[in-house]
């Protein structure tokens, strides 16, 4: 079997890479998901706003597509005049009448010039009667057609034009019925019309059977009449929905006309289409479909303000497009999930709006599938939820963003002069020296012997031995206390703080798996959080910053852990709540002495248990600064005044620096 062959070439800027994958989507969602904590809402907002793929190409959002729908609708309404449906007919009838009048006058002149008095008198009487007959034609189109059908034409040209016009109108009106009921037949013959009547009768019968609880023979119907439906519906419901949309478009055209226009068209249809069974079947089908699909747009009406006239066929097409635009708009305005966009007919979107919106909808419809197949989200009870892998990716994204902002020299230059004897592999090796732990790297040792090239069997020498280097290990137990009071989002502090929480959890989980990290949120009261809950954590719509309860819970978590213990507290306010002697939360603003004393008592207990408290302040409030000064003096921890932009720099760098200091102290 031949091996596959691949060709490689240098990057020249013209090649296209992979456009979008699940990790790109998660990166796009990170900030929104951290802020609001709901993967479903975050996805909806991303779909609304749009995004860029990794090639920098814009994926249009639903707002952009809805704006294109609005412009396309406005362009149609501002361009066309629906009065053209009958104005064109009225103009052609006027031309027929004018041609006939000229012929009458020409014949009268010939008779008057003949010199025959009797002939001239009869010709004058006949011409007057014919002119009077034309003058008395009703103003409506149907009446004019009816009067001209009974008229004895003098002009062969006028008679022929009238015959051609009535035949064309008859075909157009017949085609309207066809357009309502079938997308396949053009130029209906009498035989075709008879088959269409049979099709409508069979369809009405199936609807009546379903209403009686019977099972209609859909397969038999499609075998006999399937050529009427190029969409090839697979079920009776699909077929009925297609026909409901067509008939609703025809009704929308009538709704959009003035009462006069509507009456003109209806009367003309009655005059030229004498097949009452066809009308009855169509009306019966329309009623059945209206009952089955009440939301298909039967009441739609549009106000055309343009100058370009529309004939009946063009008007039906315009109504169909307007109806499809309206249906698409309703679907997209419903803030659908990504998976629901798979139901959109992108081919029709491409016809109506162009390639870019259709391609964007196709890409957006794939997002949920991509996230699910990548194992980042899963469906639970009809909603999306992050999987453990999704939680880790979210933390990694937050960590990567924060580390990416740090200056290179703040994280570099941390080499140590000697390696330790712990069990953390450094993935580096060195030649063995007397006194080193004998952590032999077999691959490098044998590789050194082979490289000497003495052949086989391979003989090892002392200088071949190479050992793995290890880092000294320390264990740090950390509880992150996150302020969830209402002031955090009000001052734009919540997202940076939560991003730091996710990043720190990710850092400890990936880089220091033996460390412990607990999470406590606090507002009116404190509560212990799990890593799984962290992405969905949001601020509390209550007043109060209960540090006392937060310290109490953090101390309880750390009591079960070993190693160096610390609390990292991120807050933007001084303590304004505490748990009173009745076990209930008590709020006071400005803070009262009782609240401050209760909080400092918990600080003293943390100090007694050798727990250091490092505080990151996000607000320059003097009251908070005074309180934190007392806290750090009592606990011998540290305090940092930061901004939302620099919070991540301070927390992560301080955490790593402390860990390095601990390692140095263990040497």
Do the domain assignments include residue 371?
no
Choice between 36 and 131, residue whose per-residue pLDDT is larger: 131
Check whether 435 has a pLDDT greater than 90. no
Q: Please say which residue of 276, 303, 330 terminates a domain.
A: 303
CA distance 550 to 548: 5
| pLDDT band of 402, cuts 50, 70, 90 | low
Report the alpha-carbon distance of residue 294 to residue 284 in Å, rounded. Answer: 15
- 609 pLDDT exceeds 90? yes
For residues 118 and 198, membership in a common domain is answered with: yes
Last-in-domain residue among 247, 278, 303: 303
Alpha helices by DSSP H, 273-377: 276-292, 312-333, 346-353, 355-365, 367-373
Q: Are 572 and 487 in contact (CB under 8 A)?
A: yes
Contacting residues for 488 by C-beta, under 8 A, at least 6 apart: 494, 497, 539, 572, 618
Is pLDDT of 335 > 80? no
- Cα distance between residue 356 and residue 364, in whole Å: 12
Evaluate if residue 646 carries a pLDDT over 60. yes
Q: Does 409 have pLDDT greater than 70? A: no
Mean pLDDT of 284-298: 77
Both 583 and 437 in a single domain? no
Which is nearest to 484 in space by CA: 549, 581, 532?
549
Q: What is the pLDDT of residue 268?
A: 60
Q: 85 vs 70, 88, 319, 479, 571, CA distance in Å?
A: 24, 7, 12, 76, 70
Last residue of a domain, one of 412, 442, 471: 471
> Computed from CA positions of residues 579, 582, 585, 588, in that sequence, does the dihedral angle turn out positive or negative?
negative
Identify whether residues 202 and 291 lie together within a single domain: yes
Q: Are residues 283 and 160 in the same domain?
A: yes
Across 33-42, 149-158, 176-185, 534-543, least confident range? 176-185
CATH number at residue 595: 3.40.50.410
- 21: in domain: no
Average pLDDT over residues 509-523: 84
pLDDT bin (cut points 50, 70, 90) of residue 538 is confident
Residue 171's pLDDT is 60
Confidence of residue 131 (pLDDT cuts 50, 70, 90): confident
Q: How many folded domains does the chain comprise?
A: 3
Together in a domain, 559 and 601: yes
Q: Do 90 and 137 share a domain, yes or no?
A: yes
Residue 319 confidence (pLDDT) above 80: no
Same domain for 432 and 552? no
Say what percent of the chain tops pLDDT 70: 73
- The pLDDT of 319-343, averaged and rounded, is 72
User: Do residues 446 and 489 both lie within one domain?
Assistant: no
pLDDT at 283 over 80: no
Mean pLDDT, rounded, of the chain: 76
Q: Do 585 and 448 fall into the same domain? A: no
C-beta of residue 426 within 8 angstroms of C-beta of residue 470: yes
Instruction: Give domain status of residue 25, yes or no.
Output: no
Look at 98-107, 126-135, 209-218, 390-399 and tell me which has the smallest mean pLDDT.
390-399
Residue 557 lies in a domain: yes
Please write the tens of the pLDDT for every residue from 265-281.
Answer: 666 666 555 555 666 77
Name the burial class of residue 4, with classes exposed (0-12), middle (13-18) and buried (19+) by CB atoms within 10 angstroms of its CB: exposed
The pLDDT of residue 17 is 41
The pTM for the full model equals: 0.55
Report if residue 362 sits inside a domain.
Answer: no
In angstroms, rounded to a whole number, what is the distance separating the alpha carbons of residues 320 and 132? Answer: 43
- With respect to residue 116, please indicate whether it lies within any of the assigned structural domains: yes
Cα–Cα distance for residue pair 600/99, rounded to 1 Å:
106
In a domain, 161, yes or no: yes
Write out the residue range of the structural domain in which residue 441 sits.
424-471
Q: Is 579 helix (H, G, I), strand (E, B) or coil?
A: strand
Contact 368, 343 (CB under 8 A): no
Average pLDDT over residues 552-574: 90
Tens digit of each residue's pLDDT (9 = 90 or more) over 461-504: 888 888 876 655 567 888 989 999 888 888 888 888 887 888 78
Residues 448 and 493 in one domain: no
Whether the per-residue pLDDT at 371 is higher than 70: the answer is: yes
The 10s digit of each residue's pLDDT in 162-214 is 888 877 766 665 555 555 454 444 445 667 667 777 887 888 888 888 888 88
Among 230-244, 459-473, 490-504, 526-540, the range scoring the smallest mean pLDDT is 459-473
């Amino acid at each position: 079997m031949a091996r596959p062959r691949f060709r490689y070439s240098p990057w020249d800027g013209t090649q296209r890479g992979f456009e979008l994958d699940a990790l790109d989507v998660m990166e796009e969602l990170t900030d929104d998901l951290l802020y609001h904590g709901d993967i479903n809402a975050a996805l909806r907002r991303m779909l609304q706003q749009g995004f860029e793929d990794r090639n920098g190409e814009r994926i249009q959002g639903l707002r952009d597509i809805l704006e294109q729908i609005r412009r396309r609708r406005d362009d149609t309404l501002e361009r066309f005049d629906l009065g053209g449906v009958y104005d064109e007919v009225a103009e052609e009838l006027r031309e027929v009448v004018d041609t006939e009048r000229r012929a009458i006058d020409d014949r009268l002149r010939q008779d008057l010039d003949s010199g025959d008095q009797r002939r001239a008198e009869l010709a004058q009487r006949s011409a007057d009667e014919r002119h009077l007959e034309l003058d008395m034609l009703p103003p409506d189109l149907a009446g004019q057609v009816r009067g001209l059908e009974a008229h004895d034409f003098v002009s062969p040209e006028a008679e022929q034009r009238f015959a051609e016009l009535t035949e064309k109108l008859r075909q157009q009106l017949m085609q309207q019925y066809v357009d309502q009921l079938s997308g396949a037949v053009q130029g209906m013959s009498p035989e075709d019309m008879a088959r269409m009547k049979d099709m409508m009768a069979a369809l009405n019968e199936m609807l009546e059977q379903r209403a009686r609880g019977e099972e209609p023979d859909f397969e038999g119907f499609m075998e006999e009449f399937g050529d009427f439906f190029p969409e090839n519906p697979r079920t009776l419901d699909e077929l009925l929905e297609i026909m409901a949309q067509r008939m609703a478009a025809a009704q929308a055209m009538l709704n959009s006309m003035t009462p006069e226009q509507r009456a003109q068209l209806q009367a003309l249809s009655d005059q030229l289409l004498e097949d009452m069974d066809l009308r009855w079947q169509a009306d019966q089908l329309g009623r059945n479909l209206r009952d089955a699909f009440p939301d298909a747009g039967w009441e739609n009406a549009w106000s055309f303000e343009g100058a370009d006239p529309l004939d009946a066929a063009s008007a039906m097409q315009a109504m169909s497009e307007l109806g499809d635009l309206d249906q698409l708009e309703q679907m997209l305005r419903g803030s659908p999930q990504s998976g629901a966009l798979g139901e959109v007919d992108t081919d029709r979107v491409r016809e109506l709006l162009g390639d870019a919106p259709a391609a964007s909808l196709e890409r957006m419809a794939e997002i949920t599938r991509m996230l699910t197949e990548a194992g980042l989200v899963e469906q639970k009870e009809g909603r999306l939820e992050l999987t453990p892998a999704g939680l880790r990716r979210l933390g990694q994204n937050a960590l990567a963003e924060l580390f990416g902002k740090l200056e290179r020299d703040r994280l570099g230059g941390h080499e140590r002069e000697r390696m330790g004897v712990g069990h953390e592999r450094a993935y580096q090796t060195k030649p063995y020296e007397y006194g080193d732990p004998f952590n032999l790297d077999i691959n490098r040792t044998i590789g050194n012997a082979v490289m000497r090239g003495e052949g086989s069997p391979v003989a090892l020498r002392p200088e071949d031995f190479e050992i793995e280097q290890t880092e000294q290990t320390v264990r740090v137990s950390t509880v992150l206390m996150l302020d969830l009071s209402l002031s955090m989002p009000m001052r734009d502090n919540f997202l940076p703080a939560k991003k730091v929480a996710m990043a720190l959890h990710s850092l400890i989980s990936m880089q220091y798996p033996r460390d412990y990290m607990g999470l406590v949120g606090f507002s009116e009261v404190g509560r212990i959080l799990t890593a799984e809950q962290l992405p969905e954590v949001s601020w509390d719509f209550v007043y109060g910053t209960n540090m006392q309860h937060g310290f109490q819970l953090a101390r309880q978590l750390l009591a079960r852990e070993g190693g160096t213990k610390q609390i990292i507290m991120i807050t933007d306010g001084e303590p304004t709540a505490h748990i009173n002697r009745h076990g209930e939360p008590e709020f006071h603003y400005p803070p009262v002495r009782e609240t401050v004393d209760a909080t400092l008592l918990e600080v003293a207990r943390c100090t007694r248990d050798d727990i250091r408290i490092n505080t990151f302040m996000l607000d320059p409030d003097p009251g908070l600064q005074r309180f934190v000064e007392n806290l750090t003096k009592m606990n011998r921890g540290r305090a940092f005044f930061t901004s939302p932009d620099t919070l991540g720099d301070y927390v992560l760098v301080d955490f790593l620096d402390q860990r390095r200091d601990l390692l140095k102290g263990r040497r």
